Structure 1
Amino acid sequence: MNRTIKNVTTLLIGLLALTVLGACGGGQQKKDGTASGETTLKFQIWDTNQKAGMEKMAEAFTKENPKIKVEVEVTPWDQYWTKLQAAATGGNMADIFWMHPDQVYTFEEGGAMLDLTDKIKDSAIDMSKFPEYITSGYNIGDKQYAIPKDFSTIGLWYNKDLFDAAGVSYPDDTWTWDTWMDAAKKLTNKEKGIYGMLAPANGQNFWYNLVWQNGSDLISKDGKKTMLGDPKTVEALKYGVSFIEKGYSPTTADFANTTADQYFESGKAAMVTSGSWMANEYLSIDGLHADVAPMPKGTQRGSVSSGMGYAIAANTKHEDEAWKFLQFLAGDEANKIQSKSGAAISALEGTQQPWVDSLPDINAKVFVDAADYGYSSMSTPSRAAWVETEQEYANQIFSLSIDVEKGCQEMAQKAQSEIDDYFAQ
């Protein structure tokens, strides 16, 4: 058999096989496993507590767009960014994924996110309906790389049973740093192994909030000068560390074995500063009767207030479908589904109340109100250059292995050098 006849024969056999397979299978299949004409989008997130809410949103979208399926994939936070970077390098990122303001510059520099600027201009999305500080956090060089998803803030969570047992009044909006420290003292019961307050070396959950409450910041408004060595920053960290020094909080070594959440959820701590995203988890713990109050006031109020975003992979093979889904996620219906599920406080204006209503057993409005005195200034272009230095020294300071003032000054000096190097490049 000559080569031409052999090739034609092989082609005919192949076509016949496809016809038979198509008849048996009920239709051709695309490479992603969906029937012809259908698309399956991969949607990557990091929070198991929010998976159900995201799936409800995806289901509502598919109901309107039957030929576009959405698979929600959860990768835990401690693996999420490593996996996402590896996927970006390998060219196989999820079509849509959660983005965090601390990471957006890294992925923008790597060209991993689709520029949404022109798509937004040509759509019905009104970016003014989202908090400006969230929107701007995903805008680099006048290009928008993500649509705001939600916002999260920090509150003072407390164990009502432990407060009742100690005869201490529940925290409220009149609390100051003095009230807070005094309550921690009264609530600490060393015989029972109960701590009044949890003071981990965790910036977002704890000490960043103290810095803002004391009228300072982490970095200047132009993002070029660190404020980690500012006297007010030093004073704020001294206050935070004093919970440990006085024995009202576990030590940094203790936290290496038992997390702050584990202490609180097991009834071994009366207070913890933690985010709105922990509401569903805390309320699901049997025997834990928790509520939340506003962050105590230093010279002013202050809370971390940051927002996540939805981004599209620059190399997605389903750009039109992914953009269609993203427009849905930015709309009223999806944001209300998200809030109603209790998954997160939706960022779109006028859609927060369902989240508050979904948590009737706690004063959930505390978290919505905290956005009014919230800060997100740690999210700057140079962040990746000095964040490890910050955490390195925070660990030393809270472990009491270095004096607070000395630690802050050394941290500031090293961080400033890293910031200068970043801008020099």
Structure 2
Amino acid sequence: MLISRLEQLGLGVLTRSCPPELVDRVVGEAGRSEKRRRLLSARFTVYFVLAMCLFSQADYLEVFRLVKTGDKGLRSCSGVNKSSLTRARQRLGWPVMRELFRSVARPLGTDDELFHGLRVLALDGTLLAVPDSAGNNDAFGKSGSQRSPMGYPQARVVAVAECSSHALLDAAIGGFKDSERIVSDALDAHVATGTLLLADRGLWVLARWHRLRDQGTHLLWRIERRKARRVQDVLPDGSYLARIEANKHSKAAGTVKAPSALVRVIEYRVDGQADVVRLITSLTNHEQYPAEELAVLYARRWEIGLVFDEIKTHQRGRPVLRSQTPDGVRREIYAHLIVHHAARDLLDEAARLHRSTAERTSFTRALYVVRRSVISPSGFFPPRPESGTGASDSPRSAGVCCPAEDLATARA
């Protein structure tokens, strides 16, 4: 039943998520608008880059052939080759895709999925293999030693995801040698008042704790056992308040020493494991936020691992990204994040219409619907509204389907 909803929502999924007006605005703000009329416009190039992520097994010209069926102005065009497509993508640049992702990324979960009124987010990182070119090797680096590098260069992606909907909300890209702690410093979107951020001990930094708390977000963080030893008070549910201090060597690195923080510590063991899991949280009210509930909630941090799997295994479809340059790699990664959010948005809306949950339908099948919507000749590139006709900036006026509205009308 839910798949039939996906089929109804599928038309123009990418243009529904990234309407032409939004693409044109982002391109203009990035200074990438055309000074003269081009066959391969910046708008078309954006959609072409997104389509390359959907059809990762196809070469450039095959992807162009699939996509141009949705653009009347390109169906009979000639003279487009691999070099012209490459130049179009180079003109676009990777910051356009980053800003487009930041413009479309938003939480998709409902109020019913909040934890005591807090939206639960997870912070973590993953590695993506990129082609073994000289530029990629210099920019991203490989595993192994300098004398004996191993495998492909790898880009490190650190992201924030909404646990309930698997929607990625922000992401930063670094190299293999870059620490996840440093890369994650660039992540601020949607981490604010009304959110609860889950993170692993590898991302712990006291200065980041203070910065996130200043933004209004609450934190549930796993840390090493040697930290937070200065017990202030033991609470009735077995948790306790403790003072956590900055690393005494922080000044040696030339950084300003962060002040101490009062945290609530929760310790527990997982069945079958000897190690004690130690969590710290800013939620100090043990009556409103019982320790047992927080321990169970922390397991949802692994939801972001499922998000990475959806992108790397199901969406990407190939073990190595295709871009041969560092700029191309960054552009391709942000394009993959946009496509993933569009597919998740589709699943979320279909689930709401069917009064179900997106978790009951596979992400792979949603991708099939998105791919079919791209090669459909009925609207991957909706027409640009004529100026002076009184057309509004809404997706519907631009020719983008509004599936929820259309389905509601049909059901009525």
Give the TM-score, by structure 1 length: 0.23
Q: Which one has a bigger Cα radius of gyration?
A: 1
The structure with the greater share of residues assigned to helix is 1
